[in-house]
Amino acid sequence: MNSKIIASGILRALIVVVTAILVLFLFYKIQSVIIYLIVSLVLTLIGNPILDFLKRRLKFKHIFATITTLLFFILIISGIIMLFIPLIIDQGQNLALLNINEIEKNSLQLIQQISVFLESHNIDASKIMKEGNLISKFNLEFIPNFLNSLIGILSSFGMGIASVLFITFFFLKDRQLMVEGLKQLIPDNHESQILNSFNKINHLLSRYFIGLLLQLFIVFILYAIVLLFFGIENAIIIAFLCAILNIIPYIGPLIASILAAILTMMSNLGGDFQTQVFPLVIYVLVGFWIVQVIDNNVSQPLIFSKSVSSHPLEIFLVILIAGFLFGIVGMIIAVPTFTIIKVIAKEFFPENKIVLLLTKNI
């Protein structure tokens, strides 16, 4: 009897493990579809307030409000593409005119200028180069492969956008049907709690993502002003890339500053490093630092404190812990995930002291 129980337990455990592996393998195979669904869900959360405004204030019918909301997204995406495609084409033509040896020659020229600057301040740059073996490692043969992979990504970008917009349309159009379907799946004794959680999560995350877009737009404008003021080439596209990096809390702005510094140096290879290039990089970094001071003390507190009803210190600790546990992806999804957990905890454990403390503003 004991042997049969043990064998049965082993068989069940084996089935569970095999099923888990198959599910993970399936998720791996359809990861693009999962990404489309997540992006569509975010767009739906952003579009819900617009949809409600059109229906309540402008008296649009539901289908027309849905189409108008989707057209709003299409116009924004088209505007971004129309803004950056000419710049990308221009840069692509410039890259096509350069061979790898020329790019490497210019980059080594920049390194030589940095070495001269360091040696003028009594720092043995040649020793650092030799010990780190930097010159031998400096190989730009990866650039053609990178450009080929980039072309592949861009070719699938159109299909991704079309898929996301198609899914978003039905998320917006049939959201009430989805709620009704959810009611059929959940137990009757927890129906009110789950539906209340769903409504609160939808409301808070909609506010969060709209606020996040506003924050990125403000940072983009400020970055662009800094770069344009100092006459940096392709200031708009650099500002856009650096603003997007601000999605990653705390680390993103640092990466953006490094990126801006490198692109500033690369666009001024002809000038003297000590008297022209280096001071210009310092000015750009100071400008970016001022933008971050404004963002950290004005934009972010308003978004995190108001939109998701959380204290800035609370958000900081959550992002820090998520970063240690799950890396950059954890930092990006930390705030939305924490908000979902808080809402669910308040609905199901309303008397818990810790839950009461964390959810008093929800």
User: What's the pLDDT tens digit per position in 140-198?
Assistant: 444 455 445 545 555 566 778 888 889 999 999 888 888 777 777 777 777 788 888 88
The token pair at 53 is 């405004």
Q: What is the pLDDT of residue 95?
A: 46
Kindly state the average pLDDT of the residues 341-361: 80
Structure tokens at 104: 């490497």
CA distance 104 to 125: 19
Average of per-residue pLDDT across 225-236 = 86
Spatial CB neighbours of 126, under 8 Å, sequence gap ≥ 6 = 115, 119
> Which amino acid, 199?
N
Retrieve residue 240's tokens. 């856009």
The residue type of 21 is I
Taking 50 as the threshold, does the pLDDT of residue 108 lie above it?
yes
Query: What's the pLDDT score for residue 81?
Result: 73
Distances (CA, A) of 302 to 208, 210, 298, 307, 319: 10, 12, 6, 7, 17
Is the pLDDT at 223 greater than 90? The verdict is: yes
The percent of residues in the chain predicted with pLDDT above 90, rounded, is: 9
pLDDT tens, position by position, 307-337 = 777 777 788 888 888 888 888 878 888 888 8
CB crowding 219-229: b at 16 or more within 10 Å, else e: bbebbbebbee
pLDDT for position 69: 92
Q: What is the reported pLDDT for 70?
A: 92
Identify which of 348, 351, 346 has the alpha carbon closest to the alpha carbon of residue 361: 346
Q: Is 337 exposed, middle or buried (0-12, 13-18, 19+ CB in 10 A)?
A: middle
Find the mean pLDDT for residues 249-261: 86
349 versus 80: the higher-pLDDT residue is 349
For residue 221, the model assigns a pLDDT of 92
pLDDT at 220: 92
Mutual angle of helices 251-266 and 235-245, in 10-degree steps: 160
pLDDT at 99: 46
d(CA 321, CA 331): 8
Predicted local confidence at residue 210, as pLDDT: 84
Q: Where are the domains of the chain?
A: 190-362
Q: Which residue has the higher pLDDT, 322 or 95?
A: 322
How many whole angstroms separate alpha carbon 362 and alpha carbon 311?
Answer: 12
Name the CA dihedral angle for 231, 236, 242, 244, rounded to a multiple of 10 degrees.
170
- Residue partners of 43: CB distance under 8 A and separation at least 6: 73, 164, 168, 171
Instruction: Evaluate whether 83 touches 236 at the Cβ level (below 8 Å).
Output: yes
Say if residue 136's pLDDT is above 50: no
Q: Is the pLDDT of residue 96 over 50?
A: no
How high does pLDDT run on average in the chain? Answer: 77
Degrees, nearest 5: CA angle 46-47-50: 115
> Is the separation of the CB atoms in 201 and 343 below 8 Å?
yes
Give Cα separations from 221 to 240, 298, 303 (angstroms).
9, 15, 18
Query: Which of residues 129 and 361 earns the better pLDDT score?
Result: 361
3-state secondary structure of 139: coil
What is the identity of the amino acid at 246?
A: N
